[in-house]
Structure 1
Amino acid sequence: MHDVPLWLWMVFAITVLLSLAVDLLAHRQAHVIGIREATAWSGVWVGLAVVFGAVVFLVVGTTAGLEYTTAWLLEKSLSVDNLFVFALIFGYFKVPRAYQHRVLFLGVLGALVFRGIFLAAGVAVVSRFTAVLFVFAAILFYSTYKILKEEEDSFDPGRSFAVKLLRKVMPVREEYARTRFVIKEAGRHVATPLLAVVAAIEAADLVFAVDSVPAVLAVSNDAFIVYTSNAFAILGLRALYFMLAGLLDRFHYLSKGLALILTFIGVKLILQASHKTISTAVPEIPSLLSLTVIVAVLAVSIGLSLACPQPSEHAAERPAAAASTSPASAPAEEASRGADPDPPTDPHDAAEPPDA
C-alpha cells in the first residue's frame, strides 16, 4: 500500500466530476460526433490521465507512478474489446449515431460505480487471502483461451440478463423518442430502446470487469492506484470509440496481442502469489518490466495489423455493427431504417424538448 494523501483523492474526485460536467455540457445537444471531434476529446482524456500520472509520480513516488501508468495502459488496451461490443450493441438496437454519445455517457457513469465496487472488493480479498491470486490467474488464462478461440463474438445484446430484467420491470417500446429513456404512454411509464441499450452496455461492462479487475490487481493492490487508473481509462472510452469506430477491423492482430498480455499478467499473478504464500525465493515481475512488455506487445500488434492488412473476404467476420455505425455508412443505414435522429418518432415527442 502507498501513502496517498487525502488531498490527492480529492483532486482526483474533483477532476473526474469537472471533466464529466464539461463533457456533458459540450454534448448537451444530440449530434453526430465526427472523427475530428472524437480525436480532440480523446487527446483531452489521454492528457488528463498523463498529467494525473505525473502528479502521482511526484507526490506518491516512482513505484506508485509506474504502477499507475502500467495499470492505466493495461486497462486502456483491454478496453479495446469493449469498443467491438459497443459497435455490436449499437448495430443490434439500430441506435442513431446522434444518440450514441448520450448512451455511452451513462454507460461510463455506471462503469465508474461498478468498477469501484469490484475493485474495492478485490483489494479487500487480496489483502486477506493472497492465495486468491491463483484464482485470478486462472480467470485470465481462461479469458486468453476465449480470445484465441474467438468465443467472445457470441455476445447477444438482446438476450443479456440486464435487458431481460428491464423488460420484466417495464414495457419497452419499439421506437426511439429522441434522447429520452422513459416516456409516458396511456398513463404508464414505458422504456424506450435507448434505456435497453444502456442496460446492455452496463451488462457488457460487468462481463469485462471479470477480466480487467484481476488484471489490474496483478499490477497493484493499492485502492488508489487501481481505481484512478481504471477511471481515467474508462473516461476516454467514448471518444476512443467514435475515433476508431470505422477502423476497428484494421487492428486484427490486436486481439492476439491482448491474449499475450493477459497470459503475461496471469504468470505475473502466479509468481506474485507464490512469492507471498510459498517462498520468498520465487521472483516477482517488477512494474517497469510489466509496463515495457505491455507497450511492446501493443506496438507490435498494431504495427503488424497496419503492415499486414486483413484479406478483404475476412474483414467482415467481426460484428457488422462496427461498419454500420461508422461515419461513412451510418447515414445510409439510418435512411434505410427511417431512423432520423432529429424529428420526433411519435406524437408524444412533439410537445417535449429535444433533450428532456
Structure 2
Amino acid sequence: MLDVPLWLWGAFATTVVVALVIDLLAHRDTHVIGFREAALWSGLWVSLALVFGGVVFLVLGPTAGTEYTTAWLLEKSLSVDNLFVFALIFAYFRVPRAYQHRVLFFGVFGALVFRGIFLSLGVAVVGRFTAVLFVFAAILFYSTYKILRGEEETFDPGKSLAVRLLRKVIPVRDEYAGAKFTVKEAGRRVGTPLLAVVAAIEAADLVFAVDSVPAVLAVSDEMFIVYTSNAFAILGLRALYFMLAGLLDRFHYLSHGLGIILSFIGVKLILQASHKMISEDVPEIPSPLSLAVIVVVLTVSVVLSLRRPPEGNSKGNSRADPEP
C-alpha cells in the first residue's frame, strides 16, 4: 500500500478545484470555441497532468510515477470514444455550438463524482476478491471482439434510460432558453433540452466506465493512482473534443488501436490474477512495458489513420452502446 501524504491529496484537490474555477470563469460568456482556444486549453490540461505525474514520481517513487502516467495515458486514449458520442448527442439535440462547453463542463463534473465511486468500489472488490480480475479481463476481451468485428453500435440519445427518467422527474420543453438548464413556465419549473443533454452525457460516461475502470485497475489498485489519473484525463476531455471536432472521422484506425490496447490489458489482468492466486512463478507485465505498448499502439494508429484516409464518411465504431 502506498503511503500517500495528506498534503498530496490536498494538492490534487486544490489543483482540480482551482483549474475548474478558472475554466468556468474563462467561459462565462457563451461563445463558439475555436481550434486555437481548444488547443491552448488542451495543452494546459495535459501540462497539469504531466506536472502532477512528476510530483507523484518524486514523492511516491518511480513505480508510482510510472503507474500514474500509464493509467492517465490509458484513460486518455480510451476516452476518445466519448468524443464520438458527444458529437452524436449534440447532433441529436441540435445543441448550438456556443452552449456545448457549458454542457460538457457539468458532464465532466458528474463524471468525476461517478468515477470516484466506481473506482472506490473496484479497488475494494479487487482487494478482497482477486478472482474478479478474470471477470474484468473477460469484459475487456468482449469489447475487443466487438471492435475488431466492426459491429456497428446504435445509440438513440432521446430514448436512453437516463433521458426517459429525467422526463418523468421534470417536464422538458422542446425549445432552448439560452444557456439555462431550467426555466419557469406557468408557475412551474421545467427543464430545457440542455438538461436532457447533460443526462445523456452522464449516462454515456457510466457505460464507458465499464471498460475504463477494469482497464485502469490492471495498472494499479491504489486508489490515489487510479483516481488522480482518471480525473486529469477526464478534465482534459472537453478541450480535446473542441480541438478535434470535425476531425474525428480521420482517425478511423484509432478504434482498432484501442481494441489492441484493451486486449493487452486483458492479458495483463489474467497474468496479474494468476500470479496472485495460482503461482508466483507466473510472470506479470511491468508498468513500464504497459506504458510503452500503449504509446506505440496509439502512435501507429494515428499515423496509419493520417497516411490512409478513410473511404466514405464512416465515423468508425464506438466501444460500447451507451444505453443505461
The TM-score bracket by the shorter chain reads over 0.9
What is the RMSD of the two structures over their aligned residues, measured on CA atoms?
A: 1.0
1:187 is displaced (CA, Å) by 1.1
| CA spacing shift, 1:152–1:225, aligned 2, 3 Å | farther
Letter in 2 for 1:146: K
> 2: CA distance between counterparts of 1:90 and 1:111?
18
2:273 counterpart residue number:
273
Match of 2:10 in 1: 10
Report what 1:118 is aligned to: 118
**What amino acid sits opposite 1:70 in the alignment?**
T
| Aligned partner letter, 1:73 | L
Q: Any gaps of 5 or more consecutive residues in structure 2?
A: 318-324
2:166 aligned with 1:154: no
In the alignment, does 2:156 pair up with 1:176? no
Structure 1 stretches lacking a partner, 5+ long: 320-356
Matched AA of 1:104: L
How far off its partner does 1:47 sit? 0.3
Compute the displacement of 1:317 (Å): 4.8
- 1:153–1:318 contact (8 Å) kept in structure 2: no
Give 1:89 shift. Answer: 0.2
The answer to whether the 8 Å contact 2:38/2:239 transfers is yes
Q: Which amino acid aligns with 1:231?
A: A
TM-score, length-normalised on structure 1? Answer: 0.88
Partner deviation per Cα, 1:236-268 (whole Å, 9 max, x = no partner): 000000000110000000000000000000000
Instruction: Tell me which residue corresponds to 1:326.
Output: none
* Corresponding letter in the other structure for 1:176: Y
Cα separation, 2, equivalents of 1:36 and 1:148: 34
Contact 1:110 1:202 in 2 (8 A): yes
Q: 2:120 corresponds to which letter in structure 1? A: A
Distance 2:207 2:59 in 1: 34
1:280-299 aligned within 5 A? 280-299=280-299
Identity value in percent = 78
Letter in 1 for 2:88: L
CA distance in 2, matches of 1:167, 1:149: 36
- Give the structure 2 partner of residue 345 of structure 1: none
Q: Distance in 2 between matches of 1:156 and 1:147?
A: 20
Aligned mates of 1:31, 1:132 — CA distance in 2: 46
What is residue 39 of structure 2 aligned with on the other side?
39
**Which structure would you say has the larger Rg?**
1
Alignment length, in residue pairs? Answer: 317
Residue 302 in structure 1 maps to residue 293 in structure 2: no
SS at match of 2:190: strand
- Which residue does the alignment assign to 2:321? none
Q: TM-score, normalised by structure 2?
A: 0.96
| Secondary structure, counterpart of 2:153 in structure 1 | helix
* 3-state SS, counterpart of residue 183 of structure 1: strand
Which residue of structure 2 lines up, in the alignment, with residue 91 of structure 1?
91
CA shift, 1:60, in A, is 0.3
Matching residue's letter, 1:228? T
Deviation of 1:318 after TM superposition, in Å, equals 4.8
Question: Quick one: distance in 1 between partners of 2:244 and 2:89?
Answer: 16
Corresponding residue SS for 1:154: coil
Amino acid at match of 2:191: A
- Contact residue 215 and residue 262 of structure 1 kept, 8 A: yes
Map of 2:140 onto structure 1: 140
Partner of residue 191, structure 1: 191
Secondary structure of 2:189's aligned partner? strand
1:107 corresponding residue in structure 2: 107
Letter in 1 for 2:211: D
In 2: Cα distance, 1:258 partner to 1:176 partner: 36
